[in-house]
Amino acid sequence: MWIDTHCHLDAPEFDADRDAVVARARAAGVDMLVLPAVAVSNFDTVRELAHRHLLSYALGIHPLCVDEANEADLDTLAAALKAHAGDPRLVAVGEIGLDHFVPGLDREKQERFYWAQLKLARAAGLPVLLHVRRSADAVLKGLRRFEGVGGIAHAFNGSAQQADEFVKRGLRLGFGGAMTFERANQIRERLVAVPETAPVMETDAPDIPPHWLYRTAEQRAAGEVTGRNEPAELPRIAQTLAELRGWTTEQAAAQTRANAFAALPRLAALMAG
């Protein structure tokens, strides 16, 4: 029923109960997860998890991992995309993009890696999973340079104009736990305003928890553990989307599923098989 288009199932937060996390997701109606890689070191991990649990995956180098990466890692990515070109569970290149929020990162190197990965995605005929944090205009610049690359702008939190630009280029916009916060005015405004063909659902688990899992700094200092996000939370998160858009739960599930298929064509073929 539901598709989580962005879940880091390989994260160490899931080491103790990863199989149970997948089982809970399926019991909640989340029948597909997309597992993006973040560095060459977890390429094999996400691929093996996708095959073990009948899920899907993406291969790429995350902008927050670029500073530790070297040029040879791009060659490794190119080789991996070639080696697994026939794997129906490989649905995208990602997580790639630009991060202009975290201070001290090498933006020039980020851009070089981002553009190189867009080039690889276009050559492989694959869409991309884009990290877009305070960097929407720069990410769009890359998409204009490499025409024809589609995919998903993950955790979208840009302006109306930026949303329009992504949508015009055929990309879908990822929405998750952040929209459940009543003060997330910009995210909620974008969610309501974009065409019905634009939004896809995601958790970014174990990160971006919805409001009912979030713990303040004071709560953490008092010993309350920060709530770990997981894909089983997706249907409850999606209730916010349904309410804001005036959709029924069934409409929200069907529309976001169709949008995910449009963004990730191999995913549609995989789930139809």
Rounded to two decimals, the pTM is: 0.96
pLDDT at 73 over 80: yes
Q: What is the pLDDT of residues 154-185, one digit of tens each?
A: 999 999 999 999 999 999 999 999 999 999 99
pLDDT cut 90: percent of the chain above it: 94
Q: Is 134 left (phi over 0), alpha (psi -120 to 50) or beta?
A: left
Average pLDDT, the chain: 96
Backbone angles phi, psi at 34, to 5 degrees: -105, 125
pLDDT of residue 220: 59
> How do strand 56-59 and strand 172-175 relate by DSSP bridges?
unpaired
Domains of the chain: 2-272 (3.20.20.140)
Q: Which residues, at least 6 apart from 68, have a Cβ–Cβ distance to it below 8 Å?
A: 39
Q: Which residues, at least 6 apart from 211, have a Cβ–Cβ distance to it below 8 Å?
A: 177, 180, 181, 182
Judged on CB neighbours under 10 Å (0-12, 13-18, 19+), 95 is buried
Mean pLDDT (whole number) for 53-80: 98
pLDDT at 126 over 90: yes
What is the DSSP annotation of 151-173? Answer: EEEET----HHHHHHHHHTT-EE
- Which residue type is seen at 138? A
pLDDT of residue 226: 63
| Window from 28-32, 218-222, 225-229 with minimum mean pLDDT | 218-222
Count of Cβ atoms closer than 10 Å to residue 146 Cβ = 17
pLDDT of residue 227: 81
Report the residue count for the chain.
273
